[in-house]
Amino acid sequence: MQGKPGNNQHLSRRRLMAASAVGMFAFSGARAQAWPAKQIRVIAPYPPGGGVDTVSRAFAEKVSAKLGQTMVVDNQPGAGATIGAAALARSAPDGYTMMVGSLVDYSIAPFFHKNLSFDMARDFVPVLEIGNGTIGVLVTPSLPVKSVQELIALAKKEPGKLSYASSGVGGLIHLNYEMLKQMTGAEMTHVPYKGTSFFQADLYEGRVQVSIDNVLAHLPHIASGKVRCLAVTSKTRSPLLPEVPTMAEAGVPGFESATNYTLFVPKGTPGEVVARLNAAGNEAVKDADFRERMLKLGIVPVGSSTQPEAQAKMASEIKRWSEVIQKGNIKPS
């Protein structure tokens, strides 16, 4: 029995839609399997020669060899790394544009940059955490404290008497102090500088007494005794200063901070591409030559065995720094 014309038309449409869906799925799978078929761009949101640029180039070199495709670093510095991030957000989610940036930078950015065209949680997929710079609690040698607990006790005994050096309001060094104050009640006078190199001499000579800063610039001076490192703020002890306790060991559990290097792709990048990047990236981070090069930069290689681990780290960093900024009522200077 022949069906009604209307029914036949509906049936034909359903078959056509089903065939199209199968075709699109097959095309998508073939496209993912073919990736990468051309050169890959890696955005470095800081100038050439700096830490992010150096990590980006070393990482791209290792991952390129594993993927069998050239990876070219594209420096797009400016506006606290937000220019490069905006470029990533505008990029096609096809696996041919990615960025080495910081979970911390983009957790902080919405509070200190107006009218951002991107949102890290909405627009980026963190593929894996490449590494972290080691941050330490640094004090001038003349300060009569030998531990973090003694420093906290002194700061609480005489609120505001100790001075704390940072690289400027809203920077990570400043926020490290704010987090310590909120967690322990240690009140110091914040003294913002233009950067670490501007306050080093003052810290070593006692004109300011404390900073919680990336230890790389201070390593030779820690070794010579010009400055004392009471603790590192990583979850585990740093291979750069293996004898120095973590903040948890020093009696401040939950205080964690690090400069960060994470590989991001635009939201919507095919899952198969993200998985391949994660696998190749983890292999690169485990490479002995890469690890040695990173440690010389003061960066401890991390790696994320799965992409969801990197996703979870992103969520925790957003929560951590937004709470510190909002609780401290910190505004752009």
- Average model confidence (pLDDT) for the chain? 92
Say which residues have a Cβ less than 8 Å from residue 172's Cβ, sequence separation at least 6. Answer: 104, 108, 135, 257, 259
Coil, helix or strand at residue 114: coil
- Report, at the CATH architecture level, how domain 135-232 is classified: 3-Layer(aba) Sandwich (3.40)
DSSP H helix total and E strand total for the chain: 12, 11
Q: How many CB atoms lie within 10 A of CB 97?
A: 20
Q: What are the tens digits of pLDDT across the range 162-210?
A: 999 999 999 999 999 999 999 999 999 999 999 999 999 999 999 999 9
Task: Please name the helix (run of DSSP H) or strand (run of DSSP E) that holds residue 18, with its range, or none.
Answer: helix 5-34
- Checking if the pLDDT of 147 tops 80, the result is yes
DSSP letters, 69-80, are S-EEEEE---TT
Lookup: tokens for 296? 């010389």
CATH number of 37-131+258-327: 3.40.190.150
Q: What are the tens digits of pLDDT across the range 88-135?
A: 999 999 999 999 999 999 999 999 998 999 999 999 999 999 999 999
Domain ranges of the chain: 37-131+258-327, 135-232
Q: Name the pLDDT band for 64 (thresholds 50, 70, 90).
A: very high
Same fold, 37-131+258-327 and 135-232: yes
Phi, psi of 29, deg, nearest 5: -65, -40
- Checking if the pLDDT of 37 tops 50, the result is yes
**What does DSSP say about strands 71-75 and 40-44: parallel, antiparallel, or unpaired?**
parallel
Say which residues have a Cβ less than 8 Å from residue 316's Cβ, sequence separation at least 6. Answer: none
DSSP letters, 297-311, are TTEEE---SSHHHHH
Can you give the pLDDT at residue 14?
53
Most confident of 19-28, 30-39, 138-147: 138-147
- Checking if the pLDDT of 29 tops 80, the result is no
Can you give the pLDDT at residue 3?
47
CA distance 246 to 157: 24
